[in-house]
Structure formats: structure tokens, C-alpha cells
């Protein structure tokens, strides 16, 4: 995982948003990325934030091959920096891997950075992305937004608390997660579809991603009540 040599073109940054899931746990009809929140589909809030990050050369949205809703739901996603590809896979890792291949087809290099962000983290702010880029742009590995665990952790045993888990040194992973395109592609090829985030794949390759302080508002909308909270927060901005 080496940085570009002196005298070469500076590494560029690309966004990548896997958006091919079905969102079963969130309830409702259809994929959760299109559920309305504060008057707009959830994914429109996510992409709107990424579009305001000037250091992203472009952001690629990875859709399911049979997605017929995106252009109708998010008509504002257009322009030279707004990319789209219907190459999503059955898992997050597959969608990200296919997205990396699409970035390469569009001219991205192995030494360029990719910032993978969950479509379901729709309260993203550009300042948090800039903080991640500032922290990682000169790092040998890259890193991710994350939060130190503050709550006491319990291990479930049949619906009861079976044990208390030590929380010291534990962080909750968020996105974006920022790594070199070539390094992430190789790591995902090694781990396959079992990883649930990009940092896990990088860790499996023997590297240690940088933990960059995220924000409590940057939570992933997963359960029905998450949408109610996001609605209140977005309307209060």
C-alpha cells in the first residue's frame, strides 16, 4: 500500500456508494434507500452531502442491475461528478468490488483513493468527509470514521444478559471508509463476500486502518425507529 512516487500525478479521491440492497430490516415497501425522509428519498440526502465535497473527483452510485427507480427518485444526480452504474452484487462486498472495477474502467488508478459510504448514513456532513480526507491523504493505509464505544456492552444469552463485554479500546465503525483503490480491490478479492465493511478486508490483509473521530449523527438507518429520528434531525438542520 504505497503512495504515488514523487513527480507522479497526485492521487485523486473518488466516492463510492453501494446502493443495491433491499433494506429488509427497515420495513416498508421496497428498498430503504428510496424511503422519503424530510421530503426527499434517503439516498438523495446522502448524495447531496457528498456532492458538496470538492475534493471528490466524482462519486459513483452502484445500483442493482434491475433498479428502475433511481433516475425518477433522484433526478438531481447529474453532471460530470455524478456517476452511476448498475453493477451491484448480492452482498455489500460484491457491490463495492464491482464498483471499484467500474471506477478503473472510468480512469481511476490503483493509487487513487476511494471513499466508500453507506447510502443509509444520510445525515452525513461534508465537514466529516473533509476531516477523514485530511487525516488519511498522507497515510500509508487509509482509515475510517468511527466512534469510541461509550455504552456498557452486554453479551446476549437467549435474550438475557449473559456477560458484560469489556468496552475499553472498542470503536463503532462508520463510513466513509477511505483506502487506495488497488489495495482495497486486492483485499476484497482475498476475503470474499464475508466482510461487512471495507476496513475488515484491509485488516485481513495485515494492515491497520486509521480510526478518525466521526459524529454521533452519522448513524446508519437500519430499523424503523431510525427513520423517525433522522426525520427530526434533518428537519431541525
- What are the residue boundaries of the structural domains of the chain, listed by start? 13-236
> Given this structure, which CATH class describes domain 13-236?
alpha beta
Grid-cell match 474502467, residue found: 105
Among left, alpha and beta (phi > 0; psi -120 to 50; other), residue 159 is left
Please give the average per-residue pLDDT across 97-119, as a whole number.
98
CB 112 within 8 Å of CB 11: yes
Contacts for 58 with CB less than 8 Å, ≥ 6 apart: 14, 15, 80, 81, 82, 83, 106
Mean pLDDT of the chain: 94
Residue 199 scores a pLDDT above 50: yes
pLDDT tens readout for residues 71-104: 999 999 999 999 999 999 999 999 999 999 999 9
pLDDT score, position 9: 83
Question: Could you tell me if 142 and 178 are in contact, meaning their C-beta atoms sit under 8 angstroms apart?
Answer: yes
Q: What is the pLDDT of residue 6?
A: 47
pLDDT band (50, 70, 90) for residue 38: very high
Residue pair 57/50 in contact by the 8 Å Cβ criterion: no
Three-class secondary structure of residue 72 per DSSP: helix
Amino acid at each position: 500500500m504505497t503512495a504515488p512516487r514523487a513527480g507522479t500525478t497526485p492521487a485523486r479521491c473518488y466516492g463510492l456508494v453501494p446502493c443495491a440492497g433491499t433494506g429488509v430490516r427497515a420495513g416498508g415497501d421496497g428498498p430503504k434507500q428510496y424511503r422519503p425522509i424530510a421530503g426527499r428519498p434517503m439516498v438523495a440526502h446522502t448524495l447531496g452531502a457528498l456532492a458538496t465535497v470538492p475534493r471528490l473527483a466524482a462519486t459513483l452510485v452502484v445500483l442493482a442491475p434491475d433498479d428502475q427507480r433511481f433516475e425518477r427518485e433522484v433526478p438531481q444526480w447529474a453532471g460530470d461528478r455524478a456517476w452511476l452504474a448498475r453493477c451491484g452484487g448480492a452482498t455489500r462486498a460484491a457491490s463495492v468490488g464491482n464498483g471499484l472495477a467500474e471506477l478503473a474502467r472510468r480512469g481511476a488508478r490503483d493509487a487513487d483513493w476511494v471513499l466508500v459510504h453507506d447510502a443509509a448514513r444520510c445525515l452525513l456532513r461534508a465537514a466529516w468527509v473533509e476531516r477523514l480526507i485530511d487525516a488519511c491523504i498522507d497515510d500509508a493505509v487509509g482509515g475510517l470514521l468511527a466512534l469510541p464505544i461509550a455504552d456498557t456492552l452486554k453479551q446476549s444469552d437467549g435474550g438475557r444478559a449473559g456477560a458484560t463485554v469489556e468496552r475499553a479500546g472498542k470503536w463503532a465503525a462508520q463510513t466513509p471508509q477511505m483506502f487506495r483503490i488497488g489495495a482495497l480491490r486486492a483485499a476484497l478479492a482475498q476475503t470474499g463476500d464475508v466482510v461487512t465493511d471495507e476496513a475488515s478486508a484491509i485488516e485481513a490483509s495485515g494492515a491497520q486502518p486509521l480510526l478518525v473521530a466521526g459524529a454521533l449523527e452519522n448513524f446508519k438507518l437500519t430499523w424503523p425507529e431510525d427513520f423517525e429520528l433522522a426525520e427530526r434531525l434533518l428537519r431541525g438542520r
